[in-house]
Structure 1
Amino acid sequence: MVNQKLNNDGLKKGLYLIPTPIGNLGDITFRAINILENSDYILCEDTRVSKKLLDKYKINTKLISNHKFNEVKNLKKIINLLNQDNIISMISDAGAPGISDPGAILINECLKQNIDIIPLPGPSAVTTAVSVSGFDDKYLFYGFFPDKEKLIRKELKRLSDLNFSLVFFVSPKKINKIIPFIKEYFIKRKILICREISKYYEEYLRYDVEKLQIFNNEPKGELTIVISEKKIDKNFSQTLSESDKRNIKKMINKLTIKEITNLINQNNKISKKEIYNFCLKLKNEK
């Protein structure tokens, strides 16, 4: 049975996931304020950041620091509090907790122990950026890029084959490191770089990827970037004809895959990738 106990204000006992403003402190719902006021504890990443929001709305609920470096250590204590029928709210510094922020460890433990988890809708840098992008609204959210160059290459190569808009979070310290990889894997696409969303100095920078340049000065504030969907050349045939396949089979032992790919592509409107993959299949069958 799911825990359905209520407190005196009619709130279910359990863990509340409350999105907080991503910039402008006015972007918070009445319901979120009410639950924060009536919580027994609020879990937050950085108490100094959260206190600015809570002070604005005169919320005096007790804070528990809960970030990626101590969330495992905190787990037993928080679960005990929840099992004692406390109402606990979890917030991040900005946006929804658990989305590229701490939260998943506690959420999964609550699921195991059949503790109520109540998510609230609210501010999101992801949907805000996609809504203003003008790109395809079928999108994939990735989050932050990996740290290691090898992993960045691996992930972007994989993502570049997908025909969706792609959303990433980037710290201002890493944007110049990431730009060359974006130019390598997402040529002929468009990019939107959102800076300081909903704040006074918010900025939305739009480029064709090939014209994207390194920032001369490190931009301020976390960045949300959206890369447009993959543009498919409708003049290209995506499949090889039976005649092409027969010709490739004749050449496969005489020429390199690169030579065959260039030769077939020269006289046909077929993507090089399609030709290359067919050649590779033939090689692997031997």
Structure 2
Amino acid sequence: MITKPQFKSNDYKNGLYLVATPIGNLKDISFRSLEVLAKSDYILCEDTRVSKNLLEKYQIKSKLISNHKFNEKKNTLQIIEYLKSGKLISLISDAGTPSISDPGLVLVNECIRNNLNIFSIPGPSAVTTAVAASGFSDKFLFYGFLPEKKNQIEDEIKKLSNFNHCLVFFSSSKKLNKLIPAFKKFFTGRKIVFCRELSKLYEEYIRKNIDELELFNNELKGELTIVISEKKEEKASQKLSESDINLIKRMINKLTTKEITDLICTNKNIPKKVVYNFCLKLKNEI
């Protein structure tokens, strides 16, 4: 049985409310989110058909206005006028937090320019849900959707490969195989988790080593959240290789100990102390 929430008329100021909605399971919405949605004069949503499922479940009668990436700019002027006249308006996405890889940023910035109230109602997030279940570091960079073209994908991933912490991406299932070659090229040695159907009946986590990753033969359904593990720092070798030893022996009477140390350690993960001490040992034997 669904109990209809009771609301107090003076609980909320007029303004724009960014309301996070469930990423799958409709039970994941908060009491506060339901209160704001029920009190809203208008609710801006991406797809009215999707949002009606949520509102009907909780018996919310507020008027829906379609607000997606193709009409967001066109809608903004009218919404600003509504807000200036004292309306309470909520902005939701099909799933998760609006304006994060979803429509909303245009309107938020216009509200800031017009000095209008903006309130963010926290709630479900595919990003934190996926990171929490990944088993990777809790330090991460959220990127969102990568570009469409292959060369742009590679350019972006190459830049991101220098980032030492976890990386989080969104991707449609249709685009996934376009990303995998770039992941393998620039994220060697790392792990990856493909998270799909989060909070739904068929929730799934596909965990792989990136070096062993292959293209998917069968298309995974829906939108995925992808988490790539942090970059593991290579431990400095405490031993010189045979080639390094031979090179030092050839240079020992031609260069200073510091010069040899700097030369050997350039682009190599060897402690300078190891090279320096070996040079001193050779000089003492001469």
- The bucket for the TM-score relative to the shorter chain is 0.7 to 0.9
Per-residue deviation, residues 183-236 of structure 1 (Å, max 9, x unmatched):
111010000110100000000011110111111111011100100000111125
Q: CA deviation at 1:16?
A: 0.2
Q: CA deviation at 1:247?
A: 4.8
1:138-217 to structure 2, matched below 5 A, reads 138-217=139-218
In structure 2, list runs of 5 or more residues that go unmatched. 1-7, 239-256, 272-286
Structure number with greater Rg is: 2
Q: Secondary structure at the match of 1:204?
A: strand
Give the structure 2 partner of residue 243 of structure 1.
Answer: 259
In structure 1, list runs of 5 or more residues that go unmatched. 1-6, 249-260, 272-286
In structure 2, C-alpha distance between the alignment counterparts of 1:162 and 1:210, rounded to whole Å: 18
Q: Secondary structure at the match of 2:79?
A: helix
Q: Is the 8 A contact 2:29 2:123 kept in 1?
A: yes
Q: Structure 1 vs Structure 2: percent identity of aligned residues?
A: 58
In structure 2, C-alpha distance between the alignment counterparts of 1:228 and 1:221, rounded to whole Å: 23
In structure 2, relative to structure 1, the CA distance for the partners of 1:185 and 1:85 (3 Å cut) is: same
In structure 2, C-alpha distance between the alignment counterparts of 1:41 and 1:52, rounded to whole Å: 16
Per-residue deviation, residues 95-134 of structure 1 (Å, max 9, x unmatched):
0000000000000010011100000110000000010111
What count of residue pairs does the alignment treat as equivalent? Answer: 246
Aligned amino acid, residue 226 of structure 2: I
Q: Mean alpha-carbon deviation: is it higher for 188-197 or for 211-220?
A: 211-220
In structure 2, relative to structure 1, the CA distance for the partners of 1:242 and 1:170 (3 Å cut) is: farther
Give the structure 1 partner of residue 71 of structure 2.
Answer: 70
Q: CA deviation at 1:270?
A: 4.9
In structure 2, relative to structure 1, the CA distance for the partners of 1:41 and 1:233 (3 Å cut) is: same
Aligned amino acid, residue 243 of structure 1: E
Q: Secondary structure at the match of 1:243?
A: helix
Give the structure 2 partner of residue 49 of structure 1.
Answer: 50
In structure 2, relative to structure 1, the CA distance for the partners of 1:243 and 1:71 (3 Å cut) is: same
In structure 2, relative to structure 1, the CA distance for the partners of 1:60 and 1:236 (3 Å cut) is: farther
Per-residue deviation, residues 30-73 of structure 1 (Å, max 9, x unmatched):
01001100100000001011111111111111000001000111
In structure 2, relative to structure 1, the CA distance for the partners of 1:55 and 1:246 (3 Å cut) is: closer
Q: Secondary structure at the match of 1:174?
A: helix
In structure 2, C-alpha distance between the alignment counterparts of 1:246 and 1:41, rounded to whole Å: 67
Give the structure 1 partner of residue 282 of structure 2.
Answer: none
Q: CA deviation at 1:148?
A: 1.4
In structure 2, C-alpha distance between the alignment counterparts of 1:153 and 1:191, rounded to whole Å: 17
In structure 2, C-alpha distance between the alignment counterparts of 1:12 and 1:25, rounded to whole Å: 26
In structure 1, C-alpha distance between the alignment counterparts of 2:74 and 2:82, rounded to whole Å: 14
Question: 2:134 aligned with 1:118, yes or no?
Answer: no
State TM-score, norm by structure 2. 0.82
In structure 2, C-alpha distance between the alignment counterparts of 1:20 and 1:244, rounded to whole Å: 61
Q: CA deviation at 1:149?
A: 1.3
What is the CA RMSD across the aligned residues, in angstroms?
A: 2.0
Question: 2:220 aligned with 1:219, yes or no?
Answer: yes
In structure 2, C-alpha distance between the alignment counterparts of 1:174 and 1:164, rounded to whole Å: 24
In structure 1, C-alpha distance between the alignment counterparts of 2:118 and 2:237, rounded to whole Å: 49
- Give structure 1 regions of 4+ aligned residues with deviation exceeding 6 angstroms: none
In structure 2, C-alpha distance between the alignment counterparts of 1:183 and 1:152, rounded to whole Å: 13
